[in-house]
Structure 1
Amino acid sequence: MNTEQYLSWAHDVLNIEAQSLHEIAAGLDENFIRTTDALLHCQGRVVITGMGKSGHIGRKIAATMASTGTPAFFVHPAEAAHGDLGMIVDGDAVVAISNSGESDEILAIIPALKRKNITLICITARPDSTMARHADIHLTAAVSQEACPLGLAPTSSTTAVMALGDALAVVLLRARAFTPDDFALSHPAGSLGKRLLLRVQDIMHGGEQLPAVECGTPLKEAIVRMSEKGLGMLGVTDSQGRLKGVFTDGDLRRLFQEREHFSGICVDDIMHPNPKTIAADKLATEALKEMQAGHINGLLVTDSDGILTGALNMHDLLMARIV
Structure 2
Amino acid sequence: MEEFEIKLPELDRSAEDALILAQQTMIEQARQVQRMANGLGQSFIDVLNLLFNCSGRVVVSGMGKSGIIGQKIAATLASTGTPSFFIHPGEAFHGDLGMLRAKDVVVLITNSGETDEVLKLVPSLQAFGNKIVGITGNPESTLARNCDIALEIQIEKEVCPNELAPTTSTTATLVLGDALAIGLMHMRDFQPQDFAKFHPGGSLGRRLLTRVKDVMHKDNLPFIPKNDPMQHAIMVMTKSQHGIAIVVDGDKLLGVITDGDLRRALVSGENLNTVVAQDIMSTDPITINEDAKVIEAENLMRDSHIKQLLAVDGTGKVSGLLSFYQ
Tell me the distance in 2 between the aligned counterparts of 1:98 and 1:140.
10
Tell me the distance in 2 between the aligned counterparts of 1:8 and 1:314.
44
Helix, strand or coil: the match of 1:101? coil
Cα offsets for 1:106-134 (capped at 9, x unmatched): 22222322232321111112233222232
Cα offsets for 1:240-263 (capped at 9, x unmatched): x1211223455567778853745x
What is the number of residues matched between the two proteins?
A: 312
Tell me the distance in 1 between the aligned counterparts of 2:123 and 2:303.
63
Return the match for 1:232 from 209, 222, 243. Answer: 243
Structure 2 counterpart of 1:17, one-letter code: Q
Tell me the distance in 2 between the aligned counterparts of 1:16 and 1:253.
59
Return the match for 1:126 from 127, 138, 144. Answer: 138
Return the match for 2:51 from 30, 39, 50. Answer: 39
Tell me the distance in 1 between the aligned counterparts of 2:302 and 2:101.
52
Q: Report the Cα offset of residue 50 of structure 1.
A: 0.3
Higher relative contact order (CA 8 A, sep 6+): 1
Cα offsets for 1:248-286 (capped at 9, x unmatched): 455567778853745xx6544443332222222334344
CA contact (8 A) 2:58 2:84 kept: yes
CA RMSD of aligned residues (A): 2.8
Unpaired runs of 5+ in structure 1?
A: 317-323
Return the match for 1:95 from 107, 114, 133. Answer: 107
Question: 2:95 is matched with which residue?
Answer: 83
Question: 1:320 is matched with which residue?
Answer: none
Q: Does 1:307 align with 2:324?
A: no
CA contact (8 A) 2:230 2:272 kept: no
Q: Does 1:298 align with 2:308?
A: yes
The 3 A distance-change label for structure 1 pair 8 and 288 is closer
The 3 A distance-change label for structure 1 pair 103 and 313 is same
Tell me the distance in 1 between the aligned counterparts of 2:63 and 2:55.
26
Tell me the distance in 1 between the aligned counterparts of 2:256 and 2:154.
68
Question: 2:213 is matched with which residue?
Answer: 201
Tell me the distance in 2 between the aligned counterparts of 1:276 and 1:83.
61
Question: 1:70 is matched with which residue?
Answer: 82
Cα offsets for 1:70-93 (capped at 9, x unmatched): 222211111222332222222111
TM-score by length of 2: 0.83
Helix, strand or coil: the match of 2:129? coil
The 3 A distance-change label for structure 1 pair 305 and 81 is same
Tell me the distance in 1 between the aligned counterparts of 2:156 and 2:303.
55
Question: 1:211 is matched with which residue?
Answer: 222
Same amino acid, percent of matched pairs: 46
TM-score by length of 1: 0.83
